[in-house]
Amino acid sequence: MTQPLRYRGRFAPTPSGPLHFGSLVAALGSYLDARAAGGDWLVRIEDIDPPRCPPGTDSTILHQLETFGLHWDETVRWQHDRHAAYQWALDTLADQGLAYPCSCSRKQWQAYPVYPGWCRTGLSDPAQPVAWRLRSDLGKRPIQWHDRLFGWQHLDPETLGDVILKRKDALWAYQLAVVVDDAEQGITDVVRGFDLLDNTPWQRQLQVALAFPEPRYLHLPLVVTSQGQKLSKQNLAPALADEPHAVRQQLFRALQALDQAPPDDLSQAPVTTQLDWAVTHWSVEQLSPSAQRELPQEP
Ligand code: GLU
């Protein structure tokens, strides 16, 4: 009998800004799921798009994780120096006819719901710079996958579209980088926010095409404002605290946002005590399968 793989999870922030309460909830959920399974928890900085990532934000994020007691295993991985691995993946796809160069601009196909694949059979305009796209219409690609909270997901490949893998400015796209790094780091469990659920079909296609194993998926409800907006830098999501009293309160509220019903007397306990309680009591069954969760009120 083969042994089940040791659990390996990860938190993979894009360092476009410091973590806010919504990203703390995602980090905490993936941390608790890994620790409750006795597994490893890794941190990967997804800085493939340097213009979007102000210098120093990666260190700020790492410091914030430590402040909340979310200590990771192994050394942190950064994506900015992973060019060779991503190029290998793109070449492998292109060799199989599963990736193709595309010279079209967004403006040209704006009347269509997804890119109609004009360059699949040859470049529309060889004089233009090219992006690389995944052929989402070929091969045995499962557009069916299981989410531990939201159950079986099905997607019609017609609605998927040929996602970009490498941009015209030569920057790597998230879909390719995340799949290559998850596989290379031996990630068994992807736990992240609900906003990434609809990226999963392309990631499943890439995993199948590159002969990578399929991780388990758990998408966590997104924390939204009382007006139903996703927390973000743009809508002034509350910044994460660094003063110990406020840190304890925010961690407690993050546990509430994950439906873990922490007992009231935990709200002022040190982060290590709160995390110990939360690892012991972590229960995905308690999470209600709704896409959104309203920001818990300050006590
Ligand atoms: N880097 C992505 C983000 O910050 C998350 C990637 C993932 O967890 O798959 O939204």
- For the segment 215-223, the average pLDDT, to the nearest whole number, is 96
pTM for this entry: 0.95
Distance 13 CA to ligand 1 centre (A): 5
Same domain membership, residue 23 and residue 168: no
State yes or no: 115 annotated in a binding site. Answer: yes
State yes or no: 102 annotated in a binding site. Answer: yes
Strand ranges (E), the chain:
8-11, 40-45, 77-78, 99-102, 131-134, 144-147, 151-154, 164-166, 189-193, 216-220, 222-224, 292-294
State yes or no: 10 annotated in a binding site. Answer: yes
pLDDT in tens, 173-193: 999 999 999 999 999 999 999
- The verdict on residue 1 lying in a domain is no
Confirm or reject: Cβ of 13 under 6 Å from ligand 1.
yes
Distance 127 CA to ligand 1 centre (A): 34
Same domain membership, residue 268 and residue 168: no
Same domain membership, residue 97 and residue 61: no
Q: What is the atom index within ligand 1 of the atom nearest the CA of 13?
A: 4
Same domain membership, residue 256 and residue 122: no
Confirm or reject: Cβ of 103 under 6 Å from ligand 1.
no
Angstrom distance (rounded) from CA 77 to CA 227: 36
Same domain membership, residue 261 and residue 218: yes
Give the CATH number of the domain where residue 13 resides: 3.40.50.620
What total of structural domains would you count in the chain? 2
pLDDT in tens, 63-74: 999 999 999 999
Domain region containing 136:
83-176
Angstrom distance (rounded) from CA 70 to CA 116: 44
State yes or no: 31 annotated in a binding site. Answer: no
